[in-house]
Structure 1
Amino acid sequence: MIKSTSLSGKIFDGLNILFLLFMALITLYPFWHVLVGSIMPYEESIKSSLHFFPGKVSFEAYEYVFSKDTIVKSLLVSLFVTAAGTLYQLLITAITAYPLIKQDLPGRSAIFLFIIFTMFFGGGLIPYYLLIKSLGMVNSLAVMIIPAAISTYNMIVLKTFFQNIPIELEESAKMDGAGYMRIFFQIILPLSVPSLVTIGLFIAVGQWNNWYVPMLFLNDKDLWPLAIVLRDILINNNMELTRGGSFVSKEFMLGDTIKNAVVMVSVVPIIIVYPFIQKHFVKGVMIGSIKS
């Protein structure tokens, strides 16, 4: 970072720092508010709507949340769907993007235009539901993984990244007798790790936060992911998530702290992933979006 030596430059740098600190505060405070609200006793939380620091710390809400099979099951479902869906979509996206960079692919332009067409037009909700029903994926976790096989936007980003890989690497591999599959898995994919990690993060966040698809197709609450359980608690205010009883009975007074605890449980896992892929994230976005 280049520091200014003139008075006007120092004033400008100081104002920039103050502005960024202010933006950081208003960005992080909602997260901090939920965190504090989840570890604050109910009696203290009702005294004020703004909480900066808890006077007392209580983990009763977390103990209550993790004592419920519904929350634990939904968390495991979300972890499985996110992991399986991310790997599946990455593979399908890469397999689709790689052939489209080949100039000698028959019908290459028509195929690409057909894929682009899906970004702007869809069949509608009712035909989509009938299709999923005819495929037997209603009340199945497959409905959250298989239909969302590919994102056109992600495919375009990955295709652009593949085009930046020197063609000489493929030609050299072909001279050594390597076929397209070996080139793809042993050369193209290893060189595309930054872009794959970036797209994988986009997919994982979308899978983790997906509540609309399970709301449409999953009637069995044992198959619900954490996102729709959280939606059911926060939006519908429906606490009856355990069989044979209410989610909140005599513990009704813990309602707000339980909501905050569930929000934290749903947010923290996806936040933990980011530091491990941060070094690839910026590089993947820039290289995958700009063709030299």
Structure 2
Amino acid sequence: MRLSRGERLGSAINYILLGAFALLALAPFVHVLAQSLSSHQAITTGRVSLWPVDFSLEAYSRVLSENAFLNAFKVSVLRTVAGTIVNVVLTCLLAYPISKTYIKGRSAIMFLIVFSMMFGGGMIPTFLVVKETGLLNTFWAFIIPGAISAFNVIIIKNFFQSVPAELEESAKIDGGSNLGILFRIVIPLSMPAIATITLFHAVGHWNSFFDTVLYVTNRELFPLQVYLRELVMFNQSNIDNNSGYSANLDSTLLALESLKAAALVASTIPILIVYPFLQKYFVKGIMLGSVKG
């Protein structure tokens, strides 16, 4: 279709404005990346903006040799993988039955799910529940309290309802069980929505730190975001030997801002690697899962 002159002009203006906003959003990350690759003298003299000055990889060498960083990175990876699997599996197992109109009590269950999105027990009651169930200072404190998201259940439930009922009926005639139909037919046909909530949960687990502050005091279980939080908030690259951080980082030889930047960039790379593989499903899954039902 041939565009008019006004439409071409409008499209050009839109591209320019969106490109400018994208560059503004990207600029802070580029600045952090430039700092992580610059020398101590370049950072302390304020010569680093959006391009590395006196290129150096020493900050990454120092950060990646820190036992505290490596342990926190391992905890974050394990939490993200295990937590996302638990979240997606439980979400599908809950969404599938409530997507069927013939299930008795379906309306009451849906009411409770929606109700939980608007009203919560609060921080202290949640902490008491976690404490009484013996989850404090355990890895499962990261997984179980937020195992199911009501919002994601609704997205998946709406998507499951879009799967033709005839496919399930024919599978039942062939002797398929409910779980078999779910995992062999419904879920494969709902991959855009599954990929969407997988991305939601993975990013949520990777970026989460507040539940660690609430439920965990064992530093061996601290994820990467808590390590970065302490690195930034306390303005030092290590706390002390008793806290589990090694004391081999000499801030007099290497700019602290460079160490912070290197740690931040290293913590961002895994999600940047995963996102492109799921991005193509992202918009499709949100739009279809939100409007059908």
Which TM-score bucket, shorter chain as reference? over 0.9
RMSD: 1.8
Structure 2: where are the runs of 5+ without partners? none
Q: Corresponding residue for 1:155?
A: 153
* Cα distance in structure 2, aligned partners of 1:166 and 1:41: 60
* Cα distance in structure 2, aligned partners of 1:242 and 1:154: 41
- Per-residue Cα deviation, 1:272-291 (whole angstroms, up to 9, x for no partner): 10111222222212211121
Q: Is this contact kept in 1: 2:84–2:198, CA < 8 A?
A: yes
Q: Corresponding residue for 1:257?
A: 258
Q: Corresponding residue for 2:3?
A: 4
Q: Is this contact kept in 1: 2:64–2:70, CA < 8 A?
A: yes
Question: Are 1:146 and 2:144 matched, yes or no?
Answer: yes
Offset of residue 12 of structure 1: 2.5
Q: Secondary structure at the match of 1:119?
A: helix
- Bigger drift between 103-112 and 67-76 goes to 103-112
Q: Is this contact kept in 1: 2:97–2:103, CA < 8 A?
A: yes
- Per-residue Cα deviation, 1:250-273 (whole angstroms, up to 9, x for no partner): 324421000001110111111110
Residue type of the alignment partner of 2:34: V
Q: How many residues align?
A: 290
Q: Corresponding residue for 1:281?
A: 282
- Per-residue Cα deviation, 1:14-52 (whole angstroms, up to 9, x for no partner): 322221221121011111111001001121112337612
Q: Name the CA shift for 1:242/1:223 in 2 (closer, same or farther; >3 Å).
A: farther
- Per-residue Cα deviation, 1:111-153 (whole angstroms, up to 9, x for no partner): 1111211111222222211211111111111100111110000
Q: Secondary structure at the match of 1:279?
A: helix
* Cα distance in structure 1, aligned partners of 2:76 and 2:146: 15
* Cα distance in structure 2, aligned partners of 1:74 and 1:250: 20
Q: Corresponding residue for 2:68?
A: 70
* Cα distance in structure 2, aligned partners of 1:95 and 1:267: 31
* Cα distance in structure 2, aligned partners of 1:10 and 1:119: 44
Residue type of the alignment partner of 1:4: L
Q: Secondary structure at the match of 1:118?
A: helix
Q: Secondary structure at the match of 2:170?
A: helix
Candidates 176, 179, 196, aligned match of 1:198: 196
* Cα distance in structure 2, aligned partners of 1:181 and 1:193: 17
Candidates 76, 91, 99, aligned match of 2:97: 99
Residue type of the alignment partner of 1:286: M
Q: Corresponding residue for 1:266?
A: 267
- Per-residue Cα deviation, 1:217-255 (whole angstroms, up to 9, x for no partner): 111111100011111111233543463566575324421
* Cα distance in structure 2, aligned partners of 1:81 and 1:233: 21
Question: Are 1:123 and 2:121 matched, yes or no?
Answer: yes
Superposition map of 1:14-93 within 5 A: 14-48=12-46, 51-93=49-91
Superposition map of 1:165-184 within 5 A: 165-184=163-182
Residue type of the alignment partner of 2:154: I
Q: Corresponding residue for 1:114?
A: 112
Offset of residue 73 of structure 1: 0.5
* Cα distance in structure 2, aligned partners of 1:11 and 1:258: 46
* Cα distance in structure 2, aligned partners of 1:39 and 1:273: 23
* Cα distance in structure 1, aligned partners of 2:10 and 2:48: 32
Q: Is this contact kept in 2: 1:239–1:248, CA < 8 A?
A: no
Q: Name the CA shift for 1:249/1:90 in 2 (closer, same or farther; >3 Å).
A: closer
Q: Is this contact kept in 2: 1:248–1:255, CA < 8 A?
A: no
Q: Name the CA shift for 1:186/1:246 in 2 (closer, same or farther; >3 Å).
A: closer
Q: Is this contact kept in 1: 2:98–2:110, CA < 8 A?
A: yes
Q: Name the CA shift for 1:20/1:189 in 2 (closer, same or farther; >3 Å).
A: same
- Per-residue Cα deviation, 1:173-197 (whole angstroms, up to 9, x for no partner): 1111112111111111111111101
